[in-house]
Each structure stands twice: as structure tokens, then as C-alpha cells.
Structure 1
Amino acid sequence: MGPSADEQADGLVFRASTSGRFYSRPTPERDPFVAVGDVVEVGRTVCLLEVMKTFHRVTYGGKGLPERARVVEIVPADEADLSSGDVILVLESVS
């Protein structure tokens, strides 16, 4: 068994701020909000979380996260149920 998401890359992870069902794209026909290798900046939408049939846009940013980071891994599968604090993205710093 390999390292957990918390132990990968630079130790940088982006976590769910609330519980909900994870969606990586705005609709099934559209491209995902982010892909492995993308550089994300503060304010960029990374996913949707559905809570009680309401979709909430989740944007990158937060305490301890750099202004810009590269996506190393997208942890949850589409339509996975997440709890608050679950890892969504494993990241690495970008200079």
C-alpha cells in the first residue's frame, strides 16, 4: 500500500469544507473543472458538492495553501460522498 493522500507530493492537500456528493464537472457533457497537471489559483472552481439537491461551487484557496499549485491527484471519484475535511486534491507548489 502506497502513501496516503496526506503524505504525497509536498504534503499539500485541498480538503472539502463541508460534506456532500462530489462532482468534477458542471454537467456530464462538459470537461472537468480541473485535471491532473493543471495549475490552480485562488478562486478557481475545482468541483461541485451537492448537499440536499443543491449544488455548491467549491473554489481553491484557504489557510496554508499557496496562491498557485499544480494538481497531482484528484482523490474522490465522481459522485463519491465526502465528509467535511476529506481530501479532494493532492497538490505540489508551483514557483
Structure 2
Amino acid sequence: MDIKEIQNLIKFVAKSGASEVKLEMDDIKITIKTGGDDKGESTTYVQQIPMGTAHVAQAPAPAAPTAAAPTPAPATDENSKYITIKSPIIGTFYRKPSPDKPMFVEVGKTIKEGDVLCVIEAMKLFNEIESEVSGKIVKILVDDSSPVEFDQPLFLVDPS
């Protein structure tokens, strides 16, 4: 994506009236925030994503407005050895398949590829989120029945 395309995207977002737009492609991440009060102000963040980074849960990012503030990913040294499993969609996070059933996973449980970790409800559909890695659940970052955003960290997994 060149500078001219980014400028055209900024103009389009400013005219659309959206307060925030996030666009994520293979090698670039763009966040455009507008003032929202018709002053024509906008803030754009362009971030190059280094090639070779592994994304645990990845889905195409729609260029649609979102209203929630970005959630900071845990980036402390102690968590750097863990794999972060992120939400592939926007919706409501549930740790169990139904209120009377046990939780899918608990802290300390060993998981393998393909194990169901949680479900995310989006537009009355319950989407099972499966693990793409094997390891041990170290931390659950979201409370049950909480809303989650696209790419929001859900679990920390120790792959060793």
C-alpha cells in the first residue's frame, strides 16, 4: 500500500463519519481515528508488521468502524515466552458450551491443536474457537460472558 492509497483512505473515512477504522493486511496495520465532531481532524497510525511473525488466531480484518478502545496486549518480559491466543471475531466470549456444562479449559490444563477453548457468540451464532497450538493454559485474559473485539487477547499458552 503506497502513501497515495493511504491518503485516499483517510479522506474516505473522514467523509464517511466513522469515528475509528482499523485495517490489517499481511505486512501493514492502519488505524484511522477521526475527531467525530466535523472539524475534519483525523489521526492515522501506520505500523509495519515484521515478516515471519506467527499469528495464532488470524482472520481477515474488515475495514469497518469500531467503537471500542484498543485493548493493550500483555507485553511484559514474563509473558513474552507465552503464545497469545486472540479472538478471530467480535462477539460475546463464553468459557462453557452452556450454563449447566463445565468450562472448556481452566488455568493449568494441557491443550492440543484442535481443542475447543471457548465459544464466541456473534449475531446469534456460537462459534467454537479451537486451539492452533499445543501447550498449557497459563492465563485466561477475559471474563466469562464478556464482549470481545477482533484480535483481542483471550488466553496465554505455554508451548513448552
Query: Counterpart in 2 of 1:92?
Result: 158
Counterpart residue identity of residue 78, structure 1: D
Aligned residue among 80, 85, 105 for 1:14: 85
CA deviations on 1:13-57 (whole Å, 9 max, x unpaired) are 111111110000011111100000011111000000000111111
TM value normalised by structure 1: 0.83
Number of positions where the alignment pairs a residue of Structure 1 with one of Structure 2: 86
Higher relative contact order by CA 8 Å / sep ≥ 6: 1 or 2?
Answer: 1
Q: Which has the higher helix share?
A: 2
Unpaired segments of 5 or more residues in structure 2?
1-72
Unpaired segments of 5 or more residues in structure 1?
62-66
TM value normalised by structure 2: 0.51
1:79 & 1:6 partners in 2: Cα distance?
25
Which of the pair has more CA radius of gyration? 2
The answer to whether the 8 Å contact 1:6/1:13 transfers is no
Q: Which has the higher strand share?
A: 1
Task: Quote the RMSD (CA, aligned, Å).
Answer: 1.4
Counterpart residue identity of residue 94, structure 2: Y
* Divergent runs of 4+, >2 A: 4-7
